Structure 1
Amino acid sequence: MRHLLRLPLLSAGAALIVSGLLPLDPASAAAPACTVEYTATNQWAGGFQGSVKVTNNSALLSSWALGFSFPGGQQVTQGWGAKWSQSGRVVIAANESWNGALGTGASVTIGFIASRSDTDRPPTVFTLNGTVCNTDTDPTDPTDPVEGAPQLRAEGNRLTDENGATRRMLGVNRSGGEYMCVQGHGIFDGPVDDASVKAIADWKANTVRIPLNEECWLGLDNIKPEYRGANYINAVKALVARVAAHGMTPIVELHWTYGQYTGNSAGCSDVHASCQKPMPNAQYTPSFWASVANTFKDDRRVVFDLFNEPYPDRATPTSAQAWSCWRDGGTCPGIGYEVAGTQDLLDTVRATGARNLVLVPGIAYSNDLSGWLAHAPTDPAGNLAAAWHVYNFNTCSNESCWEATLAPVAAKVPLVAGEIGENTCAHGFIDRVMKWFDDRGLSYLGWTWNTWDCASGPALISDYDGTPTAFGIGLRDHLRALG
């Protein structure tokens, strides 16, 4: 909060033989949102031909993406009827321009050729736009998840752990580390001892996002000595360790940064890291991420969130310039300091040898992902997820916008709503957000685990023992129901 591989198409005359339908469990298919019939035929030494019929049993889809995982090392080499891509075991087939509309009860049949091994097994779980097909509830993942905090990795559009089990990040933000130090009041706002972290885990949260301040981490001399440098870093490391010890994923996130900005929607006129700036700066932010990545690169349980809420769109004249600034940095129209783009920061992280999962937010305070796929930074580690924020007062705060701008991203990469909240002191809005994300197997984190009130921002708790506010009750009860 502010305060894959494209594969060539086969010729149109390629034959398709349908046989060997994968059996479905009738009990689990009582009320499926979508139905998938998978057929493997025409097998030969080293390869086979496959067909997939997808039926949409829910509301009209304007675009679709089918996802599944090959359990036996199969690799798609050619395909038709969809844009096929594969990353590791995960296969994504996204609609062509001419077959994107899929009405209620409508079907589409697509096909592919793949290499095979001697131990081939068919896929068992299929998703359509993130919704699990052939069942009215999500099936048990065929792979047992690891115990405790996982080492998360992006596999296609899913997050998986070391065993390959699908995971979601569901939890809270723990604000304070971004502002207390620069304001001269401390390092965190409220307790971060073991009891307070356990209270988060008692909500059945599995993730805690920890906002940080780059000047405090780097030890710049405008910060009080007791709240900067080694003292700050050690406090963050201790909190990360407590979060992981309670089986939750720690996300370390850069929130407030250096650089003077007084243009449209400026949060402050201060050159220092005392508010949200439109973009990170080239002077200090790469050094921050080099240090953070070196600190946590040997602990793959820790996730990196590059920058809280970019808003170059408020400074630059056009959307195209904003997305270019977002990715490439440099001299950006309307921003008076040299910008570090998301590619710069990702390169900095990977240069340390860190292979941790990295979250990359969109523009418009992370509420706009419309240009994310076209401008996403290149990751040599192949371990990126898209980050998105939403509040009831944001532009993209309704299901039609989510279908138009989020669903295409979620079909390609893991999508994490790093902040969800509302300024109504209730939870009706986040209930809608959570349902939309639950239906697609996506991740979300409530803002924020702090004892504020509605006048200062959405607060989940009234006491650090985990007593919820009226807003927090919605998230707490939902997480416990999922847990």
Structure 2
Amino acid sequence: MSPQTIRRSRLRVGMVAGGVVALLVSWMMVAVSAQAAAGCRVAYTVSAQWPGGFTANVNVTNLGDPLNGWSLVWTFPSGQRVTQAWNATVTSSGSQVTAVNASYNPAVGTNATVSFGFNGSWTGGNTNPTSFALNGVACTGSVGGTTSPTVSPSVSPSASPTVSPSVSPPPPGNPMATVAAMEPGWNLGNTLDAIPDETAWGNPLTTQALLRHVRSQGYNSIRLPITWSNHHGPAPAYTIDAVWLGRVRQIVDWSLAEGFYVMINLHHDSWQWINTYPTDQANVMNRYRALWTQITAAFRDHSPKLVFESINEPQFAGTSGDEQNYQVLRELNAEFVRIVRASGGNNATRLLVLPTLHTNADQGRLDALTAEFNQLRDPNLAATVHFYGYWPFSVNIAGGTRYDSTVEQDLIGTFDRVHDTFVARGIPVVIGEWALLNWDHNRPGVIERGEFLKFLEAVGYHARTRKLTTMVWDAGQFLNRNELRWRDQGVYEMFKASWTTRSGTASSDQVYVPRTGAITSKSLTLNLNGLTFQGLRQGSTNLVNGTDYTVLGSTLTLTAAAVTRLAGNRAYGVNSTIEARFSQGVPWQIHIISHDPPTQAAATGTTSSFAIPTQFRGDQLATMEAKYADGTPAGPANWTPFKEFWQHFQPDYNANTIILKPEFFAEVDDGAVTLTFHFWSGAQLTYRITKSGTTVTGTT
């Protein structure tokens, strides 16, 4: 990843209860043999608290026999209530709470942990519960007690991919087969590439348990981005630090032992010093040559499943333009191939991966790399590009809030060019990094979850049908490496499904209903993706076609009666979640959300600290426009009135504010600016700010 994007890595949308507790529990309870060993441990933590509300995380460790369905019960000591949950379906009866597994996380092995979380409300006190029961057995922290046989769930989870380290890689000389066997792949991002060391960018030390977990999730290859700049001595030898090289070798060896294909490279070296090659050729080439000579010597006898990538995202300063850029990259790649092949051993036939300029997929970049392949005439080479989607959608700027036809055509055009330029000519391609730049658990709401899921589904399909191997960029935004669990299990389920099949989606995963007044029918457009619609379900209950919903062509309509029932007491936020099911793939979740029109109030502040009081009232912010009095765009990115989410503005739902960032005001002229806030319900609010030097005032 480039220096501009290394820190950019998710709005966790919850699922709230619906239906009857007894029905949910009876459907989802585990089917085990009589007298099975049982035991559990629960860690309940409040991660955030504010007047009247809180966020809690619950980690449940199964100490007994493996479970295939779970239900956790506890009682709130202070009468708290759950208002929104994720990774579990939560229901309440008075102070007693029941959390039942979601459709994607019923299986919990012995000593494995399943996690879920929720937002709650409290009055008077927020004392943590201390007693929990898992599938009817008290969680005492040890094994003891038994569970009785219960009804098996009607839907079985999909089988986890198995690890087969003993499978031999394709023979040398068949790079297409090797790259195909690497699908799908995963990046250990912001780790060995972090500056100055492995944990500097917030990730924990890599363990064999982490690698084993990633492999168990179905990934066949792992890319280890490595920055060497801070781990070698001075010229002329540039001797790599023995401890660092040993650490790299350890992680490579662990990965190979787990059955991965492994790809290593020179990563942020690309912009730290390799980029000066056009004006400092002798020194850069000597350093580049010294590093690859040592790396190839260290790994010359390693398995053919180890792959070398010459440079990450090559970029150059001081050139006259792209033609010179292509020439200097050609020189570096050619020297890389020469060094590796000359080192002998398995390096003589090892698969080598060469990038385009900037690892970009514009046709000129692809053609330049094709010319390199023609000159090198090496039978064991592959090409690599990176893909972070259509940029306005990838960062939410210029109104790029949805996965629309523009975003899809950018995806299809990119993958078609790569396929036609390389794969159709027998050159395999690795999409060495892909994701959306600003999908990040630390920046919730930048990319709406349903729109992100559509993007994931499409990337998997279009890459698979064009025989492109993908390696998702994960800097910690997808897999929580401390807990070895996916931050959003539904996102992972879409990843996994896309490797083999399509999934159906819809025009939205949100249905907004008014907090008060009449409720009408609601319609969504189904994106069938070649599948057939099978029906709607809430928990274990199938909704009734003709009574609860109708389908006409690709239009799904929820009846007013069904929406009224699903909205429940119409408390602000998600009231219930239903699933649209298709003939294949993962179900599409639809959240029924109650809201009132948001409101805002006057404010004063400075360009370094300004927040607009905002009552969201169940709604979520989608984007913001900024215009001067004459209608021209105000603020940064002045080619568009729509500013970049989180970079220029940020909602704070806990504090009931929208923050305007110093980066926004840094490029705003003194005077009046009209802001228009767009919400996912379709509501819009107009707000006027006036900037005078460092002073800012705001009015509705």
TMscore range, shorter length: 0.5 to 0.7
Alignment correspondent of 2:2? 2
Alignment correspondent of 2:261? 249
Equivalent residue for 2:467, pick from 441, 445, 455? 441
Alignment correspondent of 2:381? 384
Alignment correspondent of 1:230? 242
Q: Does the C-alpha gap of structure 1 residues 293 and 317 become closer, same or farther in structure 2, counting only changes over 3 Å?
A: same
1:24-173 equivalences under 5 Å are 147-148=166-167, 150=169, 153=172, 155=174, 158-160=176-178, 167-173=181-187
Alignment correspondent of 1:372? 369
Alignment correspondent of 1:474? 494
Structure 2 residue identity aligned to 1:324 = Q
* Aligned equivalents of 2:379, 2:197: Cα separation in 1: 38
Equivalent residue for 2:309, pick from 305, 310, 313? 305
* Aligned equivalents of 1:315, 1:474: Cα separation in 2: 43
* Aligned equivalents of 1:173, 1:434: Cα separation in 2: 16
Alignment correspondent of 1:342? 333
Structure 2 residue identity aligned to 1:311 = Q
* Aligned equivalents of 2:419, 2:432: Cα separation in 1: 14
Structure 1 residue identity aligned to 2:416 = E
Q: Does the C-alpha gap of structure 1 residues 184 and 233 become closer, same or farther in structure 2, counting only changes over 3 Å?
A: closer
Tell me the alpha carbon deviations over residues 31-62 of structure 1, each in whole angstroms, 9 at most, x when there is no partner. xxxxxxxxxxxxxxxxxxxxxxxxxxxxxxxx
TM-score (norm 2): 0.38
TM-score (norm 1): 0.54
Tell me the alpha carbon deviations over residues 393-445 of structure 1, each in whole angstroms, 9 at most, x when there is no partner. 45994212332344221112011111111135334334322211211222110
Is 2:421 aligned against 1:403? Answer: no
Query: How many residues are matched?
Result: 297
* Aligned equivalents of 2:357, 2:341: Cα separation in 1: 23
Q: Give the conservation status (yes or no) of the 8 Å contact 1:154–1:383.
A: yes
SS of 1:283 mapped into structure 2: helix
SS of 1:159 mapped into structure 2: helix
Alignment correspondent of 1:239? 251
Q: Give the conservation status (yes or no) of the 8 Å contact 1:342–1:377.
A: no
* Aligned equivalents of 2:167, 2:205: Cα separation in 1: 23
Is 2:339 aligned against 1:327? Answer: no
Greater relative contact order, per chain length (Cα 8 Å cut-off, separation 6+): 1
Q: Does the C-alpha gap of structure 1 residues 192 and 481 become closer, same or farther in structure 2, counting only changes over 3 Å?
A: farther
Equivalent residue for 1:284, pick from 282, 287, 305? 287
**Shift >6 Å, 4+ stretches:** 258-262
* Aligned equivalents of 2:458, 2:173: Cα separation in 1: 25
Tell me the CA shift for residue 472 of structure 1. 4.5
* Aligned equivalents of 1:408, 1:431: Cα separation in 2: 24
Is 2:205 aligned against 1:202? Answer: no
Q: Does the C-alpha gap of structure 1 residues 242 and 261 become closer, same or farther in structure 2, counting only changes over 3 Å?
A: closer
Alignment correspondent of 2:189? 175
Tell me the alpha carbon deviations over residues 132-157 of structure 1, each in whole angstroms, 9 at most, x when there is no partner. xxxxxxxxxxxxx99346266453x7
Alignment correspondent of 1:363? 357
Tell me the alpha carbon deviations over residues 70-120 of structure 1, each in whole angstroms, 9 at most, x when there is no partner. xxxxxxxxxxxxxxxxxxxxxxxxxxxxxxxxxxxxxxxxxxxxxxxxxxx
Tell me the alpha carbon deviations over residues 208-236 of structure 1, each in whole angstroms, 9 at most, x when there is no partner. 00011223453459xxx9xx711111111
Structure 1 residue identity aligned to 2:176 = R
* Aligned equivalents of 2:171, 2:301: Cα separation in 1: 13
* Aligned equivalents of 1:427, 1:154: Cα separation in 2: 37
Q: Give the conservation status (yes or no) of the 8 Å contact 2:416–2:466.
A: no
Tell me the CA shift for residue 319 of structure 1. 2.7
Q: Give the conservation status (yes or no) of the 8 Å contact 2:185–2:219.
A: yes
Q: Give the conservation status (yes or no) of the 8 Å contact 2:182–2:221.
A: no
For the pair shown, the structure with the greater C-alpha radius of gyration is 2
Tell me the CA shift for residue 318 of structure 1. 3.2
Sequence identity, in percent? Answer: 18
Q: Give the conservation status (yes or no) of the 8 Å contact 2:181–2:220.
A: no
Q: Does the C-alpha gap of structure 1 residues 150 and 376 become closer, same or farther in structure 2, counting only changes over 3 Å?
A: same
Tell me the alpha carbon deviations over residues 280-331 of structure 1, each in whole angstroms, 9 at most, x when there is no partner. 931311111111111112122210011110134x753433222112102xxx
Tell me the CA shift for residue 479 of structure 1. 4.7
* Aligned equivalents of 1:259, 1:461: Cα separation in 2: 27
Gap regions ≥5 residues in structure 1:
4-144, 272-279, 329-340, 452-458
SS of 2:319 mapped into structure 1: coil
Gap regions ≥5 residues in structure 2:
4-163, 277-282, 393-408, 440-451, 503-700
Q: Does the C-alpha gap of structure 1 residues 185 and 2 become closer, same or farther in structure 2, counting only changes over 3 Å?
A: same
Q: Does the C-alpha gap of structure 1 residues 185 and 440 become closer, same or farther in structure 2, counting only changes over 3 Å?
A: closer
Greater share of residues in strand: 2
Q: Does the C-alpha gap of structure 1 residues 316 and 440 become closer, same or farther in structure 2, counting only changes over 3 Å?
A: same
SS of 1:285 mapped into structure 2: helix
* Root mean square deviation, CA, Å: 3.7
Tell me the CA shift for residue 189 of structure 1. 3.4
